[in-house]
Amino acid sequence: MKAMIWSLSWKNIWRNKLRSSIVIAAITIGLFGGIFAAAVMVGMGEQRLHSAIHNEVSHIQIHHPKFSENQEMKYTIDDYGNIEDSIRELNGVKSVTSRINITAMARTANNATGVTVLGVNPEQEKTTTEICTKIPDGGGTYLDTNVHNAIFIGEELARDLNIVSFKLTQDVFDQLAEADIDNENITKLQSLRGKLFRKENRFDDSLRNKLGRKTYSEIESFVKETSIIYNLRKKIVLTFQSADGNLTGGAFRVTGVYDINNTAFERTHVFVRRNELQELTGLSGNKVHEMAVLLNDIETDNKVAAQISNLVPDLKVQLWKDLSPNLKVVTSMMDFFMFIFLIIILLALGFGIVNTMLMAVLERMKELGMLMAVGMNKKRVFSMIMLETIFLSMTGAIAGMIISYLLILYTGNVGMDLSSLYKQGFESLGYSAVLYPELGAKFFLEVTGLVILTAIIASLYPAKKALSLRPAEALRTE
């Protein structure tokens, strides 16, 4: 009997093929939209978390307890070498690096701005951060050069200090053609070929005049990205306070530019060699301001932080989520917002399912009355209606999840490049404009459970209508 009810329920949803197909299509499209949107959100969150930890804050940082309050030169970590050795011996620790961290004024002949100067050991830094790999084409090299007083700066700072220029070369035009930029627009730019623009605002004005405001806004980011020239070897003068409280400074040569898709960080953080900064500040060789710890697994961050706190009870040990509160919000609230979004979609679909099943029940009142008259009890009638609803919902859900999975798999490998539209907006928030959607198998299982739950709830009212039928009256229904 159970097998018969299952078979009958499946056949019943195809009795009105058009109506069932419309509902299945609605469920497919709705779930596809919800799942893919969730994958984009998860992918963005994971990308931001990875970038922040491997380029900006690491998993754990250690400071003097008062350093985070005003970052004064005197608040240092003493004898950092022994502390490094002890931390490296802890399980789960991948690498450790120690830095001098000071605030300075960076000046060129054209502009000046405040920056955070990080004096680092280049070899240690390479094992702890990925920033040395984030050098764009033509962006020079990291600090592992023979140049005295080398400085490694962000692309946004390079623009602010006017140490970049722009030139439309043949290579740029080739890239524009490969990117499917309209030939008409490429022709409009031909008059700028070979002309060197030393100021970004003048290059912007020329592009806008040639292309018009609408086209300029659409392809500005790509044109500027391909035509930028980094004026390496330019001099930047850093002015800062020395260890004895006097104003001092030094001239540094730009050897490289990094681009980590975070406008704020690129604009405010520069890297120099630790030993050279120590000479200029007069800071003792066994003192630093911060230590950054990279772990093998983010899940062990609380455990390792507690162990480090036991090793250095007089120092302040902070996790990435404390150093960058916005990351904590991204990771803790992402799942919540995903499921709220998905539940809203399922609720909307649920009303459509209720309406469809109610129409199916009302159309089959005579048939249901006959089944009850020949001995089918109310429990089996209820089971049949509920199974029809579940089959209808799961058919659309499975189709939606398969389409979503395939698209997530594809875009997760090749990426979704939104640079032409939202590059500046994304990077101002620290996100890359190239998105890589991702979702785990657990999410799909949870969606399956939510769909079945929605179907069961949606079947209750139509099933109640069916159970309220009186066989004798139902048989007289035309």
Q: What is the pLDDT of residues 245-273, one digit of tens each?
A: 888 889 999 999 999 988 889 999 999 99
The predicted pLDDT at position 150 comes to: 93
The answer for residues whose C-beta is within 8 angstroms of residue 298's C-beta and 6 or more apart is 53, 59
Closest of 63, 128, 58 to residue 97, by C-alpha? 128
Work out the pLDDT band at 473, boundaries 50, 70, 90.
low
pTM listed for this prediction: 0.81
Strand 60-63 versus strand 290-295 pairing type:
antiparallel
Return d(Cα 21, Cα 321) in angstroms, integer.
47
- Check whether 362 has a pLDDT greater than 80: no
Q: Find where tokens 């803790």 sit.
A: 332
- Check whether 471 has a pLDDT greater than 60: no
Q: Find where tokens 């919800």 sit.
A: 34
Task: Evaluate whether 379 touches 386 at the Cβ level (below 8 Å).
Answer: no
Q: What percent of the chain has pLDDT above 70?
A: 90
- Check whether 224 has a pLDDT greater than 90: no
Q: Find where tokens 């009355």 sit.
A: 369
Return d(Cα 360, Cα 184) in angstroms, integer.
57
- Residue-wise pLDDT tens digits, 60-104: 999 999 988 778 888 999 988 899 999 999 999 999 999 999 999
The predicted pLDDT at position 109 comes to: 83
- Check whether 53 has a pLDDT greater than 80: yes
When pLDDT is averaged across residues 364-391 and rounded to a whole number, the result is: 70
Tokens of 166: 């722009």
Q: Which 3-state string (H, E, C) describes the chain?
A: CHHHHHHHHHHHCCCCHHHHHHHHHHHHHHHHHHHHHHHHHHHHHHHHHHHHHHHHHCCEEEECCCHHHHCCCCCCEECHHHHHHHHHCCCCEEEEEEEEEEEEEEECCCCEEEEEEEEECHHHHHHHCCHHHCCCCCCECCCCCCCCCEEEEEHHHHHHCCCEEEEECHHHHHHHHHCCCCHHHHHHHHHHECCEECCHHHHHHHHHHHHCHHHHHHHHHHHHHHHEEECCCCEEEEEEECCCCCEEEEEEEEEEEECCCCHHHHHHEEEEEHHHHHHHHCCCCCEECEEEEEECCHHHHHHHHHHHHHHCCCCEEEEHHHHCHHHHHHHHHHHHHHHHHHHHHHHHHHHHHHHHHHHHHHHCHHHHHHHHHCCCCHHHHHHHHHHHHHHHHHHHHHHHHHHHHHHHHHHHHHCEECHHHHHHHHHHCCCCCEECCCCCHHHHHHHHHHHHHHHHHHHHHHHHHHHCCCHHHHHCCC
Residue 290 pairs in a beta bridge with 63, 99
Rg (C-alpha) for the chain, rounded Å, is: 31
- Residue-wise pLDDT tens digits, 103-158: 999 999 888 999 999 999 999 999 999 999 999 988 999 987 788 899 999 999 99
The predicted pLDDT at position 98 comes to: 94
Q: How many CB atoms lie within 10 A of CB 257?
A: 27
Work out the pLDDT band at 194, boundaries 50, 70, 90.
confident
The predicted pLDDT at position 239 comes to: 93
Q: What percent of the chain has pLDDT above 90?
A: 31
When pLDDT is averaged across residues 366-378 and rounded to a whole number, the result is: 63
Work out the pLDDT band at 356, boundaries 50, 70, 90.
confident
Half-sphere exposure of 399 (CA within 13 A, CB side): 14
The predicted pLDDT at position 474 comes to: 47
Strand 112-120 versus strand 93-107 pairing type:
antiparallel
Dihedral of CA atoms 200, 203, 208, 213 in degrees, nearest 10, equals -20
Task: Evaluate whether 224 touches 208 at the Cβ level (below 8 Å).
Answer: no
Task: Evaluate whether 32 touches 264 at the Cβ level (below 8 Å).
Answer: no
The predicted pLDDT at position 466 comes to: 67
Task: Evaluate whether 65 touches 316 at the Cβ level (below 8 Å).
Answer: yes
Return d(Cα 30, Cα 27) in angstroms, integer.
5
